[in-house]
Amino acid sequence: MEKLGIPSVPMATKSFADLAKSNASKRGMPHIRACFTPHPVWGKTAEQLMAYVEGNDPVSGKPLMQEIIDGLTVPLIAEDTKTGMMDVNVGPPVYGPDTLDNLQIHFLNNGMTDFLPIIIPTPEKVDAMLKGSSHHPDEVVGKMAAGAFAAWTFTVRQVAVNAVMAGCEPEYFPILLAVASSGMAALGSSTSSFAYSMVINGPIRDKLNMNYTIGAMGPFAQPNATIGRAWTLIGKNLGNGGIPGDTYMGSQGNNTNYNNIVIAENEKDSLWTPYHVQKGFKPEDNVVSLFAGEDIRQGHGARGAGVLENPMFDDQISDMFRTLTSQFDALVICDPLTIKRLVEQGYDTKEKLTDWLWKNTMRTAKDYRDSAFVYTFHYPRALRGEEPYATWYKCPEGTLIPYWPKPDNIVLVCAGGQTNPFFQVGNLTYRVSVSIDKWM
């Protein structure tokens, strides 16, 4: 708007004060005249909102409307009309020399960590990490942003620094390069607090001693623990994500962001095709596949869960889908025992089960339209005639429709130690599979 020569005043609620200012700066208008109303606006009556309008800006303490009119009419000063390019400073290339304790505090206090202790990335440690890949340290790996922000670029060396900090060994490095090359940050800026997950396939799982048996998704092995954590550090330091109030707006946060749900598939004990092979890779390829969405939950609450004689895991998984939003897909993690039982039931391929689940998990069109994000993201596509959303918005409220457009929206992966036939369900969407071998 200002670019068009029209004076404008953005107005936001108080909660977004920091965000509005820093966003304006990133877009090149550090002195934009933003005004703020009390928070929230949502759910308030007309009378309450009139009181906001006639009251003060809670940030500046001045009358709101006076501020708006001043914002449109008070002449600009020299700084406001500045033009040109401005470089953003991220500090010197090396910190120190200093003691390890002081460096630990420095990294923590400057938002470069997840607030847990790190391995200090000394030049020696970073060099050792770089030996984990044949790629040149100065090669640009990719670009990353945590949302609708200008993306930052980064090199192999910068990924290595973060890998050291997370506690990774040099042999893990190609996985981190593969993850970073996707440009996907593990901390998205949305006000919804999203979860992230990665599925790792191929012989590298055993080479690195990844845990895919008992406690597969818990804190029981170094590669599972540190590779997942490194994704969050990469999101913060290379993608400028995870700054609360600026590039992270998740109101409540998500507890899975500490590790980002690292899943090494238990290919050995699974009776089904490994995930990367489904995606067109060879069994001997090493691949990391990334997911994003809401959460992961256990199947214990499903109808008929864990029944004694003949558990019907197909019904149970379908039942768990009742509390998923259609905006994100389903990632189902099955213990090998669960898979054995499903194969006995006749689901000898993943495709047979996803096909059944897709056909047999239905909801009314009304429930679909009333679920989170659907109005924001699917409705505009429905208006453009995109299927199946167009049909799902046209049909009567009581019509039963599937949760997702295709059976492919349901992903099955095997992990677990066969101590009990359990499964977990993530409301998570597949984004991309990246070859790890290319980064070796």
Partner 1 sequence: MNRRKLLSLLGMSPVLLTGNPAQAGQTKHAAAPAADPGAVKITTVNPKGTPPSIQLIPMAPRLDSLDGKTVYLVDTGFHGSDALLHQVELWFNRNMPSVTLVFKRKAGPYAQDDPPLWKEIKEKGNAVIMATGH
Partner 2 sequence: MNRRKLLSLLGMSPALLAGAQMEAQQPKAAKSGKVAAAENAQFEALNPKGSPPPVKLIPMAPRLDSVHGKTIYLVDTGFMSGGVLLQQMQIWFNKNYPDVTVVFRKKAGSYMEDDPPLWKEIKEKGNAAIMAIGH
Partner 3 sequence: MGIPSVPLVTKAFKDLAILNAGKRGMPLERICFTPHPVWGKTPEELRVYVDGPDPITGKPLMKEVVDGLTVPLSADEKKTGIVSVSVGPPTFTDTAENLQEFYLNNGYTDFLPIVLPTQEKVDAMLKGSSHHPDEVIGKMAAGAYPPWTYTVRQVAASAVMAGCRPEYFPILLAIASTGIASLFSSTNSFAFSMIINGPIRDKLEFNYGIGALGPFAQANATIGRAWTIMSKNLGNGGIPGDTYLGSVGNNLNYNNVVIAENEEASPWDPFHVQRGFKKEENVVSLFRGLGVVPGQVARGSSVNTSPMFDAQLSDLFSTFTGFFGALVIADPLVAVRLKEQGYDTKEKLIDWLYKNTTQTVKDYKGRNYSYLFEYPQALQGVEPFATWYKLPDDAVIPHFPRASSFNVVVTGGQTNAYPQAANMSYGVSVSIDKWM
Q: Is 87 in the site for partner 1 (CB under 8 A)?
A: yes
Q: Is 107 in the site for partner 2 (CB under 8 A)?
A: yes
Q: Is 242 in the site for partner 3 (CB under 8 A)?
A: yes
Q: Which of 219, 283, 346, 380 binds partner 3 (CB under 8 A)?
A: 219
Q: Which does 21 bind (CB under 5 to 8 A by kind): partner 1, partner 2, partner 3, none?
A: partner 1
Minimum CB separation of residue 126 from partner 1 in Å reads 14
Q: Which does 81 bind (CB under 5 to 8 A by kind): partner 3, partner 2, partner 1, none?
A: partner 2
Compute the residue count for the chain. 440
Q: Is 88 in the site for partner 1 (CB under 8 A)?
A: yes
Provide the sign of the torsion angle of the four alpha carbons 271, 274, 277, 283, taken in this order: negative
Q: Which does 93 bind (CB under 5 to 8 A by kind): partner 3, partner 2, partner 1, none?
A: partner 2
CB-CB contact of 233 with 162 (8 Å): yes
Residues 116-145 that bind partner 1 (CB under 8 A): 122, 124
Which of 367, 174, 197 minimizes the C-alpha distance to 289?
Answer: 197
Q: Is 89 in the site for partner 1 (CB under 8 A)?
A: yes
State the Cα–Cα distance between residues 151 and 235, nearest whole angstrom: 11
State the Cα–Cα distance between residues 119 and 104, nearest whole angstrom: 8
Tokens of 291: 């997911």
Which value, in Å, is the radius of gyration of the alpha carbons in the chain?
A: 25
Cα–Cα distances in Å, from 325 out to 141, 186, 274?
34, 20, 26
Q: Which does 153 bind (CB under 5 to 8 A by kind): partner 1, partner 3, partner 2, none?
A: partner 2
Which residues make beta-bridge pairs with 158? none
Cα 53 from chain centroid (whole Å): 37
Residues 38-67 that bind partner 3 (CB under 8 A): 39-40, 42-43
State the Cα–Cα distance between residues 42 and 22, nearest whole angstrom: 23
Q: Which does 242 bind (CB under 5 to 8 A by kind): partner 1, partner 3, partner 2, none?
A: partner 3
Q: Is 108 in the site for partner 3 (CB under 8 A)?
A: yes
Pairing of strands 140-144, 35-37: unpaired
Which of 407, 416, 424, 411 minimizes the C-alpha distance to 265?
Answer: 416
Q: Is 102 in the site for partner 3 (CB under 8 A)?
A: no
Cβ closer to partner 2: 160 or 332? 160
Q: Which of 4, 282, 308, 385 binds partner 2 (CB under 8 A)?
A: 4
Q: Is 305 in the site for partner 3 (CB under 8 A)?
A: yes
Q: Which does 205 bind (CB under 5 to 8 A by kind): partner 1, partner 2, partner 3, none?
A: none
Minimum CB separation of residue 438 from partner 3 in Å reads 27
Q: Is 77 in the site for partner 1 (CB under 8 A)?
A: no
240's torsion region: left (phi>0), alpha (psi -120 to 50) or beta? Answer: left
State the Cα–Cα distance between residues 365 and 355, nearest whole angstrom: 20
Secondary structure, 3-state, 164-202:
HHHCCCHHHHHHHHHHHHCCCCCCCCCCCCCEEEEEEEC
Question: What is the total count of residues that contact partner 1 (CB under 8 A)?
Answer: 31
Q: Which of 22, 25, 56, 104 binds partner 3 (CB under 8 A)?
A: 104
Q: Is 68 in the site for partner 2 (CB under 8 A)?
A: yes
Q: Which residue bears the tokens 């996985």?
A: 175
Cα 339 from chain centroid (whole Å): 28
Which of 265, 237, 281, 260 minimizes the C-alpha distance to 334?
Answer: 265
Q: Is 276 in the site for partner 3 (CB under 8 A)?
A: no
Tokens of 269: 């004990």
Residues 135-154 that bind partner 2 (CB under 8 A): 144, 148, 150-154
Q: Is 385 in the site for partner 1 (CB under 8 A)?
A: no
State the Cα–Cα distance between residues 220 and 222, nearest whole angstrom: 7
Q: Which of 245, 380, 394, 406 binds partner 2 (CB under 8 A)?
A: 380
Residues 398-437 that bind partner 1 (CB under 8 A): 420
Q: Quick count: other Cβ atoms within 10 Å of Cβ 58?
A: 15
Q: Is 283 in the site for partner 3 (CB under 8 A)?
A: no
State the Cα–Cα distance between residues 134 and 131, nearest whole angstrom: 7
Q: Which of 12, 16, 21, 174 binds partner 1 (CB under 8 A)?
A: 21
Minimum CB separation of residue 283 from partner 3 in Å reads 23
Minimum CB separation of residue 423 from partner 3 in Å reads 7
Cβ closer to partner 2: 257 or 424? 257
Binding interface with partner 1 (CB under 8 A): 18, 21-22, 25-26, 30, 79, 86-92, 95-99, 102-103, 106, 110-111, 122, 124, 243, 245-246, 308, 420
